[in-house]
Amino acid sequence: MRKYRLVAKKGEGTFSEVLKAQNVKDGKYYAIKCMKNHFDNIEQVNNLREIQALRRLSPHPHVITLEEVLYDQPTGRLALVFELMDANLYELIRGRRHYLNAQLVKSYMYQLLKALDHMHRKGIFHRDIKPENILIEGTGDIGRGLKLADFGSCRGIYSKQPYTEYISTRWYRAPECLLTDGYYGPEMDLWGAGCVFFEISSLYPLFPGTNELDQINRIHKVLGTPSPQVLAKFRQNGAAHIDFDFSHQKGIELSQLLPHTPSECVDLLTKLLKYDWTERMTAREALKHPYLKDLRELELRQQQQNSSSSNAQPKASGRHGSTLGSKSSGAKNTSSDAVTGGSSANAAGGAGSKALPNIGSNADGGGTTNATGTMGRKQQRLVQQGSLRGVVGQSQKNVGAQDGLPPIRGVTGSQKLIGGAVSGSTTYGSTSKSNVGSHGHSNHSNHSNTHGTHGTHGTHGTHGTHGTHGTHGT
């Protein structure tokens, strides 16, 4: 049976291509991420870091849901079927001339921090937090749910350093990623969250560097040059190409850049953007910040109401996090114009699989899919011809924590994920490549393009066209 009818090409990147598809049986829309890499066997598929991580994180109201894995063993083709969201945060603020509703910004940050806290408690860090990888329901001033996506770059918190040096998108790259040879950890996700926080508050990026040195210089212009004591921490594992003899810069008060925001907002932002990663606020600590007090209280009331109204039924959010603005996990978006802003997953294996293999037999790069994703013409034809079938499972070993993550129980014996082929009736229409990558930005070209000029950090300006932000690059 041909299960999916392809509707449009939504994005393309280095490692995969994202297609919008409709389930022929129920009419619901999904995002299908078709991998460019070939996989020799089922074990390689099950060891894919993105799949393993999201199996571990599932279910969670603020992590994108992977509905199904389609693998064709004879050809080595792999496609991941995700729930379809309306947009990503970049698309929400692109070209916007008026600030987002302050309560909406707060709600988005609360939901993002919920996702990060859950992920870090599960022993995983994302490594590519940016607006394009944060998906939302609705695009108006009254937003709803937010889900973190694109886990192709994630790593285990307890895995051995050094990591890949050039990870994450430059504008959201933490100082420890810029100044060391891969000695960083989950703290980098909070730096990225701080950059996103500023961007959705101001409508322009905080640190739109054009290269590594310019990136460092822009950070120093805003935060000031760190003290010799702080720089000494970085120098211990310093990158060979970095000269730590930085000229002194005083920095700018973040409140000057965000005059329209309350002091509690600026205080949280300041603590997320601490130059020294050891002083940076954790996601758990950030969730307790006074800025988010009203949302914590609202969530508590919701949980109490859910508990009192139905003692016999499981709570929608009591176990994993906030129901604020979030549709229930697994609910599908049937809007014909819904777009995919990301390419990651949550319940990898979807409704048909409970297999939970370990994260981490993939080295950086290698067989992983690094966020955006492409497929290529042959694979396009493959999907069009309906030859991708869901057959992931078989003999699944409980591989050791090779990526430094705590072990997850595997499933032995034959176990298939949801089957079915992709329909051949494909309509790409006139989708332009300006909406590329899983994020909808065009051609990030190794992160060197500009986000729209940052100017002097003065007026909020407009986000403009955000430059040409798209493909993740390395």
Q: What percent of the chain has pLDDT over 70?
A: 63
- Give yes or no for residue 340 having a pLDDT over 90: no
pLDDT at 12: 85
DSSP state of 435: S
CATH C-level class of 87-292: mainly alpha
Nearest C-alpha neighbor of 15 from the set 379, 383, 450: 379
Average pLDDT for 242-271? 95
pLDDT at 450: 38
- Give yes or no for residue 140 having a pLDDT over 50: yes
- In whole angstroms, give the CA distance from residue 381 to residue 161: 40
- Cα angle vertex 270, ends 370, 170, to 5°? 25
- Residue 145: CB atoms within 10 A of its CB come to 24
CATH C-level class of 2-85+328-422: alpha beta
Q: What percent of the chain has pLDDT over 90?
A: 52
- In whole angstroms, give the CA distance from residue 162 to residue 182: 4
- In whole angstroms, give the CA distance from residue 61 to residue 461: 33
- Give yes or no for residue 47 having a pLDDT over 80: yes
- DSSP code per residue over 288-335: TSGGGHHHHHHHHHHHHHHHHH-SSSPPSSTTT---TT-PPTT-----
Burial readout 92-106 (b: 16 or more C-beta within 10 A, e: otherwise):
bbbeeeebbeeebbb
pLDDT at 168: 66
Give Cα separations from 61 to 147, 197, 242, 376 (angstroms).
7, 20, 41, 32
Average pLDDT for 221-231? 95
- DSSP code per residue over 192-261: HHHHHHHHHHHSS-S---SSHHHHHHHHHHHH-PPPHHHHHHHHTTB-TT----PPP-----HHHH-TTS
- Give yes or no for residue 30 having a pLDDT over 60: yes
pLDDT at 337: 35
Average pLDDT for 176-194? 92
- Give yes or no for residue 323 having a pLDDT over 70: no
**Token couple for 351:** 């409704």
Report the C-alpha dihedral over residues 397, 390, 438, 373, rounded to 10 degrees: 70
pLDDT at 309: 82
Residues 95-117 pLDDT 10s: 999 999 999 999 999 999 999 99
pLDDT at 393: 35
pLDDT at 167: 64
- In whole angstroms, give the CA distance from residue 145 to residue 135: 8
- In whole angstroms, give the CA distance from residue 42 to residue 73: 7
Which sequence spans correspond to the domains of the chain?
2-85+328-422, 87-292
407 confidence band (pLDDT: 50, 70, 90): very low
The residues assigned a catalytic role are 128
Residues 345-357 pLDDT 10s: 333 333 333 333 3
**Token couple for 244:** 């730590």
Average pLDDT for 380-405? 37
> Which residue is it, tokens 């057959």?
391
- Give yes or no for residue 457 having a pLDDT over 70: no
Q: Choose between 125 and 420: higher pLDDT.
A: 125
Average pLDDT in the chain: 74
pLDDT at 239: 76
pLDDT at 235: 85
pLDDT at 421: 36
14 confidence band (pLDDT: 50, 70, 90): confident
pLDDT at 333: 40
38 confidence band (pLDDT: 50, 70, 90): very high
Q: What is the reported pTM?
A: 0.71
- In whole angstroms, give the CA distance from residue 133 to residue 248: 34
pLDDT at 462: 46
Residues 199-219 pLDDT 10s: 999 999 999 999 999 999 999
166 confidence band (pLDDT: 50, 70, 90): low
β-pair type (87-88, 146-148):
unpaired
